[in-house]
């Protein structure tokens, strides 16, 4: 059996879907062989994409960012059209048995198709997404689901949403929990000090990890933190690790006008190599999301021997499994109190820290790959 696995999302700076797609692909190769799992677009398109982006960046630096935009607007659609055409040709002529799209909306190709639906936030909460994404989703998602032989989802919470809102039969949707990469484990003092120095972090800090976008509920967390007494904020900053995402202007404005002057540190994107130490050095991870398809940072925090305070969003509560403090994402006072208590009495979360690595060990990419591989076989037998 040969599977065409679209790994394009993993070519970008990896967050969210790109991270999970790459980890799943690597685990599938361990489960099967590289000949059976073929990652699209492969090295040729990866090199072409990098060279094109380098060319655009160089041009922008030489003539000014504003002047480079027309060049970028002309080149990128051409590359995308070539990319799509090449994908269709490959799917039609290179003797694949299955196509797996790990990024929500599949290409229309004459192969049995498996689609990973990470969450239904665009469908259920369109106000959290850019209008152009909602329009593309409305146009393509329903058709993609209709074409799919099988759907994979990251949590049972999303599976129930898919059955309810997409009208799918239960035998067409399988839950595959995400895994925690092997690098996430407690970090020694030397590596911890190195990462602290690199990011100029104090010995005590609170942490929040993830791309900043509306459903992450960062405004509530930042406001709750800024409402703490100044003495506590001076002793223990709140550290935000993640890029500014779509529709994040309110969060960015609050941080620039208020948060940065009141103990909130913004690091931006943090590479995977630094995350284990960042987790290990924090007093606790705070994860107040309104909605998630899985919620990986709390489990990564547990794997690193840390404690997490998370929201009661259905998937987050499912994945945390009782090994985290769960708070209503709308309860300002509860989040404020949890922030304060963590700073004043960090030992109150010790039981969660002690159980964390053993609990997180149940979330492994090899286990996820075994489930996905069984779905491949099932679909190939009865496409």
Q: Indicate whether 283 belongs to any domain.
A: yes
Neighbouring CB atoms inside 10 A of 332's CB total 14
167 and 119 belong to one structural domain: yes
Same domain, 128 and 32: yes
User: Are residue 199 and residue 250 in the same domain, yes or no?
Assistant: yes
Residue 259 in domain: yes
Residue 265's contacts (CB-CB under 8 Å, 6 or more residues apart) are 201, 205, 237, 238, 239, 240
Q: What is the pLDDT of residues 116-164, one digit of tens each?
A: 999 999 888 888 888 887 887 777 888 888 889 999 999 999 999 999 9
Are 317 and 340 members of one domain? yes
pTM of the predicted model as reported, rounded to 2 decimal places: 0.87
Whether 125 and 14 map to the same domain: the answer is yes
What pLDDT is recorded for position 55?
42
Q: Is residue 88 one of the residues assigned to a domain?
A: no
Number of domains in the chain: 2
Query: Are both 282 and 342 inside the same structural domain?
Result: yes
Which tokens in the block code for residue 190?
């030397």
Token pair for residue 82?
């070539």
Residue 181: per-residue pLDDT:
93
Shared-domain flag, residues 217 and 243: yes
**Which two three-digit tokens encode residue 163?**
């059955």
> What per-residue confidence (pLDDT) applies to 71?
52
Query: Does any domain span residue 77?
Result: no
- Sort strands 150-153 and 3-6 into parallel, antiparallel or unpaired: unpaired
How do the pLDDT tens digits run along the chain, 383 residues long? Answer: 899 999 887 776 556 678 899 999 999 998 876 568 888 887 544 444 444 444 434 433 344 444 445 555 666 677 777 777 888 888 888 789 999 999 878 888 889 999 999 999 988 888 888 888 788 777 788 888 888 999 999 999 999 999 999 889 999 999 999 999 999 999 999 999 999 999 999 999 999 999 999 999 999 999 999 999 999 999 999 999 999 998 999 999 999 999 999 999 999 999 999 999 999 999 999 999 999 999 999 999 999 999 999 999 999 999 999 999 999 999 999 999 999 999 999 899 999 999 999 999 999 999 999 999 999 999 988 75
**How many residues are listed for the chain in this entry?**
383
Q: Are 165 and 199 in contact (CB under 8 A)?
A: no
**What are the CA-CA distances from residue 160 to residues 30, 59, 281 (Å)?**
30, 48, 36
Q: Are residues 159 and 294 in the same domain?
A: no
Question: Does a structural domain hold residue 81?
Answer: no
In a domain, 65, yes or no: no
Indicate whether 225 belongs to any domain: yes
* 206 & 234 share domain: yes
- The CATH number linked to 195 is 3.40.50.2000
Task: Specify whether 193 is located in the same domain as 258.
Answer: yes
300 within some domain: yes
Q: Does 170 lie in the same domain as 231?
A: no
Write out the residue range of the structural domain in which residue 227 sits: 189-360
- Is 350 found in the same domain as 236? yes
């Amino acid at each position: 059996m040969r599977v065409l696995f679209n790994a394009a999302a993993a070519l970008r700076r990896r967050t969210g879907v790109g991270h999970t797609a790459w980890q799943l692909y690597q685990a599938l190769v361990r489960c099967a062989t590289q000949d059976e799992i073929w990652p699209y677009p492969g090295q040729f398109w990866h090199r072409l994409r990098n060279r094109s982006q380098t060319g655009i960046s160089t041009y922008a630096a030489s003539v000014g960012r504003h002047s480079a935009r027309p060049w970028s607007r002309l080149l990128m659609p051409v590359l995308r059209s070539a990319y799509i055409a090449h994908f269709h040709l490959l799917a039609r002529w290179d003797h694949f048995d299955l196509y797996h799209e790990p990024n929500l909306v599949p290409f229309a190709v004459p192969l049995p198709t498996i689609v990973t639906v990470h969450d239904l936030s665009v469908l259920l909460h369109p106000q959290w997404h850019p209008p152009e994404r909602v329009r593309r989703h409305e146009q393509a998602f329903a058709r993609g689901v209709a074409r799919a032989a099988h759907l994979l989802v990251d949590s049972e919470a999303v599976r129930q949403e898919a059955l309810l809102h997409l009208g799918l039969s239960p035998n067409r949707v399988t839950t595959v929990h995400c895994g925690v990469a092997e690098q996430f484990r407690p970090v020694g003092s030397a590596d911890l000090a190195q990462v602290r120095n690199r990011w100029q972090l104090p010995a005590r800090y609170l942490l929040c990890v993830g791309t900043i976008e509306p459903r992450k509920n960062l405004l509530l967390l930042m406001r709750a933190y800024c409402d703490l007494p100044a003495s506590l904020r001076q002793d223990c900053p709140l550290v935000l690790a993640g890029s500014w995402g779509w529709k994040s202007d309110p969060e960015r404005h609050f941080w620039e006008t208020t948060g940065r002057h009141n103990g909130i540190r913004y690091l931006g994107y943090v590479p995977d190599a630094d995350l284990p130490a960042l987790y290990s050095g924090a007093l606790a991870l705070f994860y107040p999301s309104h909605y998630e398809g899985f919620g990986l940072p709390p489990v990564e925090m547990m794997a690193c021997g840390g404690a997490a305070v998370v929201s009661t969003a259905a998937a987050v509560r499912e994945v945390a499994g009782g090994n985290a403090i769960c708070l209503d994402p709308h309860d300002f006072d509860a989040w404020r109190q949890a922030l304060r208590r963590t700073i004043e009495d960090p030992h109150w979360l010790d039981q969660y820290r002690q159980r964390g690595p053993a609990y997180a060990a149940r979330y492994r990419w090899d286990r996820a790959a075994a489930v996905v591989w069984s779905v491949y076989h099932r679909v190939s037998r009865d496409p």
